[in-house]
A = this chain, B = another copy of it.
């Protein structure tokens, strides 16, 4: 697979790591990134990761064969619409947003349809760090990228995006948009909101100092994810509110039932509940 010119909009950890991974394949020509503050790209240019930094979208995408929109999900649809005005015909557009339904809905609302050359994508990878200077050439090795093509998505565009991520070392999996958002709500969004809620509750206890001081592995692991970026999680909750609300509702019902078992000292019910969870968990993870 060859990409003569790759354009990246919002080149931070995710976009930068993709650039670095593709650089290592020697199947990549020029890399142009869009940056409102070009100084931030200084090190990336010096290190040879990025060839060209542009401050206008038109100049960024005019020659690009593949355009990766690596911004937060809320900005993706707007950039897709703007990119379409300036890119070559046949250029492939993709994104890395962690929510897909919101992007698709906004494209339909603003453009009337989802462009055939736009392939929604989501690499399941990241680190605690951000910014292009934290980019890692092996971030995607062995990780999964979910792509959610629509019925009108061009097969060639899908193939290009798939091969791009495979070249970066990832396994590419296809899912429909709603399934993606439900799976992410379950595996990522729900755990995060539960962790935030737990930390908030414990921080209100009168013994808060003891609570944090004696936090053993359980709470420490649990709470680490409550250290993520609040703005990002606000946007994820807004963007995927239907799936998250639904799962939170089921979770509350499950906790109410568990609470009854504890309050009534239902030994057998508690054992069944814990055994079922352990069995499911151990069947899937080592």
Contacts and interface: CB of A to CB of B under 8 A. Distances in A.
A203 interface: yes
Contacts of A173: 214
A274 to B, nearest CB: 4
Contacts of A217: 225
Contacts of A191: 198, 218-219, 222
A39 interface: no
Contact of A188 (B186, B219, B225): B219
A275 B232 CA distance: 11
B237 A248 contact: no
A186 B219 CA distance: 8
A252 B198 CA distance: 10
Given A194-B194, A234-B267, A245 B218 contact: no
B284 A262 contact: no
Interface in A18-63: none
B211 A186 contact: yes
Interface in A190-240: 190-203, 205, 207-208, 210-228, 230-231, 233-234, 237-238
A211 B226 contact: no
A182 interface: yes
A265 interface: yes
Given A214-B144, A247-B201, A281 B230 contact: no
Given A222-B221, A245-B262, A278-B228, A273 B183 contact: no
Nearest to A225: B218
Most B C-beta atoms less than 10 A away, residue of A219, A247, A250, A274: A274
B225 A221 contact: yes
A277 B200 contact: yes
Contact of A241 (B187, B231, B251, B262): B262
Most B C-beta atoms less than 10 A away, residue of A175, A258, A261: A258
B280 A265 contact: no
A93 interface: no
A177 interface: no
Nearest to A224: B221
Nearest to A251: B201
Given A192-B218, A222-B225, 20 more contacts: A173-B214, A182-B207, A186-B211, A187-B214, A187-B219, A196-B258, A196-B277, A197-B254, A197-B258, A199-B281, A200-B273, A200-B277, A208-B280, A223-B285, A238-B267, A238-B270, A241-B265, A244-B262, A248-B255, A248-B258
Interface of A: 124, 144, 146, 173, 175, 179, 182-184, 186-188, 190-203, 205, 207-208, 210-228, 230-231, 233-234, 237-238, 241, 244-245, 247-252, 254-256, 258-259, 261-263, 265, 267, 270-271, 273-278, 280-282, 284-285
